[in-house]
A and B are shown apart, each in its own frame.
Chain A
Amino acid sequence: MGALEAVILTIITASTPLLIAAIGELVAERSGVLNLGVEGMMAIGAVSGFGAALVTGSPGLGILAGIGAGAGLSLLFAFLTLTLAANQVATGLALTLLGLGLAGLIGEPLVGQPGVKLAPVVLGLDVLVFASFLLTAAVAYVLFRTRLGLVIRAVGTSHHSAHALGHGVIAVRYGCVMFGGACAGLAGAYLSLAYTPQWIETMTAGRGWIALALVVFASWRPWRVAIGAYLFGTVTILGFYVQASGIGIPSQFLSSLPYLVTIAALVALSGKGTFTRINTPACLGQSFVPDR
């Protein structure tokens, strides 16, 4: 394996979980729902995926379990915020705490167990890396080229208008939130099955929050989210390379660089205020109670 290949492979594995989680959250936010529980859903996805793969011996089933667990937890969020119209910010934060705690509880017997690794298929890349690209392409296509996407964006931009036109605002949002949960669960399963095949508590280490930030800084555009995720991964890994080559740049600075570079790049990309305004879902974070 050449040195450059190794670098590229490392960057791809570091970026993939961020991309998957962020794409899911993007869809939820496009429909007007701000789910701050990404970190918790990732943790649940990681522990469920790891546990299922360990018990069945099949990483494929592990992935499905991760997706299912993430979607399941997001269903709880959807019920609270959509059906009961609870505050989305508070509920999302609670979901993170619940997810992390629950994952620790479920995962107790799994600590210290070597897991089942998702084997690479082509060029040292596993199937989920390709899935993440397909996912991005599919989301970009559906959101901006199909009727369904139009409805989702309409629900996110003006829920009252969408409702008046006869679209089921709550139903659309349920679907989008659960899609986001499934993606977060998948991203978590990627961590515990492909990235570092093991389960330990808090192994998500803040990646859910980074994914959340990426969505905002990418102005809710799928390909920009992909650029952001890869930029973040690239700068993180290159920072390690710089350190390992013994060039005397302070490591604290290198650690903060991915955040700075990604934010700067994405802000520069969406430099025009109008662009961001057009893309921001106007109903983001607002509860919708149908009046008739």
Chain B
Amino acid sequence: MKKLLGGFLALAMGLAIAGASAEDKLKVGFIYVGPVGDHGWTYQHDQGRLALEQALGDKVTTTFIESVSEGPDAERAIERLARDGHGLIFTTSFGFMESTLKVAERFPEVKFEHATGYKQAPNVATYSARFYEGRYVIGQIAARTSKTGIAGYIASFPIPEVVSGINAFMLGAQSVNPEFKLKVVWVNSWYDPGKEADAAKVLIGQGADIITQHTDSSAPLQIAEAQGAHGFGQASDMIKFAPKAQLTSILDNWADYYVERTKAVLDGTWASGDVWGGMAAGMVRMATYTNLPEDVAKAAAETEARIKSGELLVFAGPIKKQDGSVAVEAGKSLPDPDILGMNWYVAGVDDTLPQ
């Protein structure tokens, strides 16, 4: 009996200790706009979460809520995490901006990180990645490898992030071949493999032999693979879907940022701010250059290194707009707010920007 009691006592103490250590652990929450299984945007954020568990698993626990629609639902989901004792909450879509700010006001002791937004608060920081840097690199690769001199671009919505990506791609291509042509098809969806595949077929049918996309599925690459064209992966490495067609992939890497910010909360140095990291910060990376002649792969790696070191600025002048007016003067570079609000095409893009 005594033994049994002792056992219970030990068990109870053990539980108490376990309970205490769970209390000590920082709870980090994530709000996702899509399903973890999208293999694109949300998938990469979740990879960041898993990396965070890997790195700081003994000090943090993580929770996520997926497929949260942007609107009143988002506020409820964020509040639930905040109420649940989370110390740090990442909200990973542009549309969560107002909801994040509202909840943050009610929970001043909780830290919030909002992806791709531009409004901060004392306990709300914002972060995003300069994906356009990667697009400049793939633009150069496209111009160097295309035989027809035409690339096809599958775009989602005419928002500044997408437009700046198209422009960066075109500037990269023009730095190699000033006559390079770019055809753009808007599918008005982030995520519809069928439509993306149709758009890829149409673009290839119109002479494009390089397909690139600012939508989330690997369908366009699969079409490129089937029809002997080439293309680039989006957000994650898609080489498995197109072993012969993928030339490289622009990778979103949130892991380092998530680990760094969580550490900051743990040691009490967290402060609100705005981080817009690119290749230099490791937020944007390029997958292995494959299916490329050696000199092209080498040139791409060099460009990547020059962007990383800050020697090459993607939106450095002179840049002309589609209507012939000057967008950036020679010797100057476009400031960040202008990139974040970009609503014009560079000269040479074969499309009219939807307004």
**Inter-chain contact B218/A205, CB cutoff 8 Å:** no
Q: How far is the CB of A242 from chain B (nearest CB, A)?
A: 9
Q: CA of A203 to CA of B40 in the docked complex: distance in angstroms? A: 13
- Choose the segment among A77-85, A106-114, A157-165 that binds chain B (4+ C-beta atoms closer than 8 Å): A106-114
Q: CA of A6 to CA of B198 in the docked complex: distance in angstroms? A: 11
CB<8 Å pairs between A and B, sample of 20:
A10-B202, A14-B194, A14-B198, A114-B222, A196-B217, A196-B219, A200-B217, A203-B192, A205-B189, A205-B192, A240-B199, A241-B202, A244-B152, A244-B199, A244-B202, A246-B183, A246-B350, A246-B351, A251-B158, A251-B185
**Inter-chain contact B240/A112, CB cutoff 8 Å:** yes
User: B residues within 8 Å of A by Cβ?
Assistant: 34-40, 43, 152, 158, 183-189, 191-199, 201-206, 217-219, 222, 236, 240-241, 350-352, 354-355
**Inter-chain contact A250/B354, CB cutoff 8 Å:** yes
**Which residues of chain A have C-beta atoms less than 8 A from B217's C-beta?**
196, 198, 200, 203
Tell me if A191 is interfacial: C-beta within 8 Å of chain B: yes
A-B contact count (CB 8 A): 123
**Inter-chain contact A104/B35, CB cutoff 8 Å:** yes
**Inter-chain contact B35/A201, CB cutoff 8 Å:** yes
A residues 1-52 in Cβ contact with B at 8 Å:
3, 6-7, 9-10, 13-14, 17
**Inter-chain contact A200/B222, CB cutoff 8 Å:** no
**Which residues of chain B have C-beta atoms less than 8 A from A104's C-beta?**
35, 37
Closest to A206 in B: B192
A residues 102-156 in Cβ contact with B at 8 Å:
104, 107-108, 111-114
User: A residues within 8 Å of B by Cβ?
Assistant: 3, 6-7, 9-10, 13-14, 17, 104, 107-108, 111-114, 191, 195-198, 200-203, 205, 207, 236-237, 240-241, 243-246, 248, 250-252, 255
Q: From the candidates A10, A111, A202, name the one contacting B43 in the complex (CB within 8 A).
A: A111
**Inter-chain contact A248/B205, CB cutoff 8 Å:** no
Q: CA of A202 to CA of B34 in the docked complex: distance in angstroms? A: 9
Closest to B217 in A: A200
Q: How far is the CB of B337 from chain A (nearest CB, A)?
A: 26
Q: From the candidates A6, A13, A201, name the one contacting B37 in the complex (CB within 8 A).
A: A201
**Inter-chain contact B183/A207, CB cutoff 8 Å:** no
**Inter-chain contact A245/B206, CB cutoff 8 Å:** yes
Of A9, A13, A243, A248, the most chain B CB neighbours within 10 A belong to A243
Q: How far is the CB of B88 from chain A (nearest CB, A)?
A: 26
Of A108, A191, A244, the most chain B CB neighbours within 10 A belong to A244
16 new A-B contacts at CB < 8 Å, known A112-B43, A205-B195, A240-B202: A3-B206, A6-B205, A10-B202, A107-B37, A111-B37, A112-B236, A196-B194, A196-B197, A202-B191, A236-B198, A243-B186, A244-B183, A244-B199, A251-B185, A251-B354, A255-B186
Q: CA of A251 to CA of B188 in the docked complex: distance in angstroms? A: 8
Knowing A10-B205, A107-B37, the reply to whether A114 touches B191 (Cβ < 8 A) is: no
